[in-house]
A = this chain, B = another copy of it.
Amino acid sequence: MRPPFDPTLYLVTDTELCSPRPVADVVRAAVAGGVTAVQVRDKHASRRDLLALTRAVRDALADRPDVPVVVNDAVDVALLAGADGVHVGQDDLPAVEVRALLGPDRLLGLSVESADDLATALRLPPGTVDVVGLSPVWATPTKPEAGPGLGLEAVGELVRTAHAGGLLAVAIGGIDAGRAAAAAATGVDGVCVVSAVCAAADPHAAAATLRAAISPAAAR
């Protein structure tokens, strides 16, 4: 059984953008503001530091068991931290291998950057992947190597294909308060943000603004 997973507003952490504030403090404020799921990502951290960071984020959300904490890439860290899942990209460990290590009780997300990537994901054994991260919607400064954006129309098509295959779909890349509504209107199950929250002077307010843009009724 997977943990509850509401990806409506999915925060992916960036340690440098949060700095000098501890990532866990930014996460805590952002969750209070409306973030519904958290992915701990730090490609520059050692596994030792990433484990400490993930535990700090989990501790900061101890009173919010409804908000899952997922670890980017590092399966060993996710297992040790008791995280709710793992998110992998196309260059990380293959999804089938990650699922073998995770067992059936954790979430697994997979970044897909094209219709081909999604088709491959949909051919995986059922239950391997829970959610695909459509990436990038727009070009993004936090991941310049991701290239130009897919665009809203292509994202909408990928979402429909993912849903038809029984997968959740979230959108990531260049999403800020001004673009969140348009991203959400593609039909995705949630939007991911990095700098829009991590670089915000007030992460609580930034999350609340994003949440209101995505789901006006829920935020009222």
Chain A residues within 8 Å of B, Cβ to Cβ: 46-48, 51, 73-77, 79-80, 91-94, 97-98, 100-101
Cross-chain contact of A93 among B73, B76, B94 (Cβ < 8 A): B76
CB distance from A21 to the nearest CB of B (A): 24
- Beyond A74-B76, A76-B74, A76-B75, whether A51 also contacts B101 by CB under 8 A is no
Copies of this chain assembled into the complex: 2
Q: Could you tell me the distance between the alpha carbons of A101 and B51 in the complex, rounded to whole angstroms?
A: 13
Cα(A91)–Cα(B94), bound, Å = 25
20 contacts between A and B (CB under 8 A): A47-B73, A47-B92, A47-B93, A48-B91, A48-B92, A48-B94, A51-B93, A51-B94, A74-B76, A75-B76, A76-B79, A76-B93, A76-B98, A76-B101, A77-B93, A79-B101, A80-B93, A80-B97, A80-B100, A80-B101
Whether A46 and B91, one on each chain, are in contact in the complex, defined by CB atoms closer than 8 angstroms, is: yes
Q: Which of A77, A97, A98, A100 counts the most chain B CB atoms within 10 A?
A: A97
B residues near A101, Cβ cutoff 8 Å: 76, 79-80
- Establish whether residues A48 and B80, one from each chain, have CB atoms under 8 Å apart when the complex forms: no
Extra contacts besides A47-B93, A51-B97, A80-B97 (16): CB < 8 Å: A46-B91, A46-B92, A47-B73, A47-B92, A48-B91, A48-B92, A48-B93, A48-B94, A51-B94, A75-B76, A76-B79, A76-B93, A77-B93, A80-B93, A80-B100, A80-B101
Q: Which residue of B lies closest to A74 (CB)?
A: B76
- Complex Cα distance, B75 from A80, in Å, reads 11
Residues of B within 8 A of A47 (CB): 73, 92-93
